[in-house]
């Protein structure tokens, strides 16, 4: 007698191999049988006739670190069949936390935009894991450790090079997080304070990383320039000099002058791979990105953290310098400003709530000022927290990345739940739809990927990359993380205008052997764990 028996389904097992008919049995937190199980009995029998049974999806790139602390349910992910989120991306992690209270506060401030105000109560990855595991979470998390957090703990959020002694200390702090089970190191090289580290600093950290075989260097790169994918080349250099595997986060061509060059980018990646670098990447199936507007401000203006940035915006002379720098240098790595392509998606200040859903041209028109002034006014009044969506990508480039054999799927989104503290603002639809969109739009509707290939890029391929031994495939003995979907109906519903819409077509989700969703509804059972490498 099994705990759960899934009968009559077609198994897509996460390896990329062709689908096959099989029943799947679960006992405790494990898959205990896969095959024809006629006559078997179970406490709960799930009829999967006409449906596809897959491994629970592993989202390679997320920012759910604190959203599941704020609201453990994580229904935006469960309803997409996601059972594990990789967290700690883009250099940003809620650990390690500095002993110095002021530095700890700057770290908390820097992560506020992701989940609002949440209780922390830990100072390390170990403490974070203990806290979330005892709280209970709806999905598993596979944590990286972030460069910004490490740098912030050792030398604060100041815009200056790290001394040799500080770099040694950062290496020790990194080693502790790796000892505690971090799956790799992430950088966010357009996001201070990670952005304040130069190539040599990241190479030094990655030399520590190299002592932990298979742990990844996950790079949100320094960005592209009109001269080409220079940020990607820096990541390659870091990987080669330190001897670590490189994973490129949220691959995209963002500079409008380089749109259409995704094929050249991947040719360059293939060339370096053939030369011996172990390199992969992830992409999400949208032609827009999202982050804090702070990314658009000069790095020097962000030294010291968010509240220092706001103080500079309040000082007329400093604000004028910020404005002049932004006009002269463009957005991020020098992309041209297209204010109509920047959509305001979340503000905290209720006086500016009307701005949510507007682009900066529209906002500027309501105020009778230039778009850059509307943006800086809002940034100042919102105390540096404003989130925006950047329509700086093309569908064609995205599809080139999605199809490439070294690419897996990573939403760059977070586990959110409608009606709770995380279901606020107008976030990017990727939070609710990325995985379902791959299965519906890019597998069924457009035929960009086969079902087996898409599932592989969202489960087994990610597990292999992370070095996860016991989940990511449907196989006897592995952790029972499973999803059952209807390939004819699986659909994402979240849009930029109306993002808080759950995906549909995934009716049953099992996390560590427990039914987290059944008959299309979450059960409220929180069996997720913070995993360890
Ligand atoms: Zn990023």
Convert the pLDDT of each residue in 444-472 to its tens digit: 999 999 999 999 999 999 999 999 999 99
pLDDT given at position 316 = 97
pLDDT given at position 447 = 98
- pLDDT tens, 277-303? 999 999 999 999 998 999 899 999 999
The rounded Å distance from CA 404 to ligand 1 centre is 20
pLDDT higher than threshold 80 for residue 333: no
pLDDT higher than threshold 80 for residue 32: yes
The rounded Å distance from CA 315 to ligand 1 centre is 30
The rounded Å distance from CA 64 to ligand 1 centre is 13
- Nearest to residue 302, comparing CAs of 316, 291, 313? 313
pTM: 0.96
The rounded Å distance from CA 85 to ligand 1 centre is 15
Q: How confident is the model at residue 117 (pLDDT cuts 50, 70, 90)?
A: confident
pLDDT given at position 533 = 97
* Total count of residues recorded for the chain: 533
Please give the order of strands across the beta sheet that includes 289-292: 289-292, 387-390, 342-346
Residues with CB under 5 A from ligand 1 (ion): 90, 220
What percentage of the chain has pLDDT greater than the value 90? 94
- The H or E element containing residue 531 is none
pLDDT higher than threshold 80 for residue 148: yes
- pLDDT tens, 175-199? 999 999 999 999 999 999 999 999 9
The rounded Å distance from CA 23 to ligand 1 centre is 39
The rounded Å distance from CA 508 to ligand 1 centre is 30
Q: What are the domain boundaries of the chain? A: 58-288+393-466, 292-390
The rounded Å distance from CA 184 to ligand 1 centre is 15
Mean pLDDT, residues 506-517:
98
**CB of 54 closer than 8 Å to CB of 510:** no
The rounded Å distance from CA 288 to ligand 1 centre is 13
The rounded Å distance from CA 504 to ligand 1 centre is 27
The rounded Å distance from CA 89 to ligand 1 centre is 6
pLDDT higher than threshold 90 for residue 508: yes
Mean pLDDT, residues 123-129:
98
Fold for the domain defined by 58-288+393-466: TIM Barrel (3.20.20)
**Extended beta strands in 118-215, E state:** 140-143, 145-146, 184-188
pLDDT given at position 141 = 98
Mean pLDDT, residues 307-324:
96
pLDDT higher than threshold 80 for residue 115: no
Is the Cα torsion angle 401, 402, 408, 412 positive or negative in sign?
A: positive
Q: How confident is the model at residue 488 (pLDDT cuts 50, 70, 90)?
A: very high
pLDDT given at position 116 = 78
Angle between helices 306-314 and 316-329 (to 10 degrees): 100
pLDDT given at position 113 = 75
**Average pLDDT along the chain:** 96
pLDDT given at position 226 = 83
The rounded Å distance from CA 175 to ligand 1 centre is 22
Please give the order of strands across the beta sheet that includes 482-485: 20-21, 10-11, 52-55, 482-485, 506-511, 514-518, 521-522
The rounded Å distance from CA 137 to ligand 1 centre is 24
Phi, psi at 117, each rounded to 5°: -85, 120
pLDDT given at position 112 = 82
pLDDT given at position 339 = 97
- pLDDT tens, 335-382? 999 999 999 999 999 999 999 999 999 999 999 999 999 999 999 999
52: region left, alpha or beta (phi > 0 left; psi from -120 to 50 alpha): beta
Secondary structure of 15-67 as H, E, C letters: CCCCCEECEEEEECCEEEEEECCCCCCEEEEEECCCCEEEECEEECCECCCCH
The rounded Å distance from CA 385 to ligand 1 centre is 17
- Nearest to residue 285, comparing CAs of 443, 459, 122? 443
| Residues facing 407 on adjacent strands | 281
Mean pLDDT, residues 149-162:
96
Integer angstrom CA distances of residue 98 from 154, 178, 208, 440: 7, 17, 20, 44
Burial class of residue 368 in the structure, from the number of CB atoms within 10 Å of its CB (0-12 exposed, 13-18 middle, 19+ buried): exposed
The rounded Å distance from CA 186 to ligand 1 centre is 9
pLDDT given at position 525 = 97
The rounded Å distance from CA 398 to ligand 1 centre is 16
Mean pLDDT, residues 265-272:
98
- pLDDT tens, 344-356? 999 999 999 999 9
- Taking the C-alpha atoms of residue 129 and residue 143, their distance in angstroms, rounded to an integer, is 9
The rounded Å distance from CA 168 to ligand 1 centre is 25
pLDDT higher than threshold 90 for residue 114: no
pLDDT higher than threshold 90 for residue 239: yes
């Amino acid at each position: 007698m099994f705990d759960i028996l899934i009968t009559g389904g077609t198994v897509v097992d996460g390896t990329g191999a062709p689908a096959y008919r099989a029943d799947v049995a679960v006992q405790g937190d494990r898959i205990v049988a896969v095959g024809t199980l006629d006559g078997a009995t179970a406490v709960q029998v799930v009829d999967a006739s006409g449906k596809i049974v897959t491994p629970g999806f592993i989202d390679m790139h997320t920012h759910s670190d604190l959203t599941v602390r704020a609201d453990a349910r994580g229904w935006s992910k469960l309803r997409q069949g996601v059972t594990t989120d990789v967290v700690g991306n883009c250099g940003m992690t809620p650990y390690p936390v500095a002993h110095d209270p002021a530095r700890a506060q700057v770290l908390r401030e820097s992560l506020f935009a992701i989940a609002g105000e949440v209780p922390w109560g830990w100072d390390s990855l170990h403490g974070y894991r203990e806290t979330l595991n005892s709280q209970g979470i709806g999905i598993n998390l596979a944590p990286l450790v972030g460069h910004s957090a490490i740098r912030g703990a050792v030398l604060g959020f100041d815009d200056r090079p790290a001394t040799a002694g500080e770099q040694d200390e950062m290496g020790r702090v990194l080693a502790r997080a790796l000892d505690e089970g971090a799956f790799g190191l992430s950088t966010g090289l357009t996001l201070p304070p990670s952005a304040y580290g130069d190539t040599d600093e990241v190479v030094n950290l990655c030399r520590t990383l190299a002592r932990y075989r298979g742990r990844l260097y996950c790079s949100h790169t320094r960005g592209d320039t009109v001269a080409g994918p220079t940020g990607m080349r820096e990541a390659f250099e870091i990987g080669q000099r330190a001897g670590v595997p490189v994973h490129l986060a949220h691959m995209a061509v963002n500079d409008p002058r380089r749109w259409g060059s995704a094929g050249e980018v991947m040719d360059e990646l293939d060339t370096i791979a053939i030369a011996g670098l172990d390199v992969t990447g992830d992409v999400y199936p949208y032609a827009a990105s999202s982050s804090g507007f702070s990314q658009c401000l000069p790095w020097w203006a962000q030294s010291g953290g968010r509240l220092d940035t706001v103080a500079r915006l309040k000082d007329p002379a400093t604000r004028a310098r910020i404005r002049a720098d932004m006009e002269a240098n463009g957005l991020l790595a020098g992309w041209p400003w297209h204010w109509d392509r920047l959509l305001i998606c979340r503000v905290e200040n209720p006086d500016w709530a009307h701005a949510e859903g507007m682009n900066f041209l529209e906002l500027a028109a309501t105020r009778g000022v230039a778009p850059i002034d509307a943006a800086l006014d809002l940034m100042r009044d919102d105390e540096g927290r404003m989130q925006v969506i950047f329509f700086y990508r093309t569908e064609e480039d995205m599809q080139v990345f999605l199809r490439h054999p070294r690419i897996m799927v990573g939403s760059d989104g977070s586990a959110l739940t409608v009606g709770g503290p995380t279901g606020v603002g107008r976030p990017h639809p990727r939070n609710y739809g990325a995985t379902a969109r791959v299965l519906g739009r890019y597998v069924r509707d457009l035929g960009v990927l086969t079902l087996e290939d898409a599932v592989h890029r969202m489960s087994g391929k990610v597990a292999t990359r992370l070095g996860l031994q016991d989940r990511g495939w449907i196989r006897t003995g592995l952790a029972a993380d499973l999803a059952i979907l209807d390939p004819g109906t699986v659909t994402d519903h979240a849009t930029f205008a109306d993002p808080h819409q759950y995906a549909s077509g995934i009716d049953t989700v099992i996390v560590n052997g427990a039914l987290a969703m059944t008959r299309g509804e979450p059960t409220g059972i929180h069996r997720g764990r913070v995993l360890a490498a």
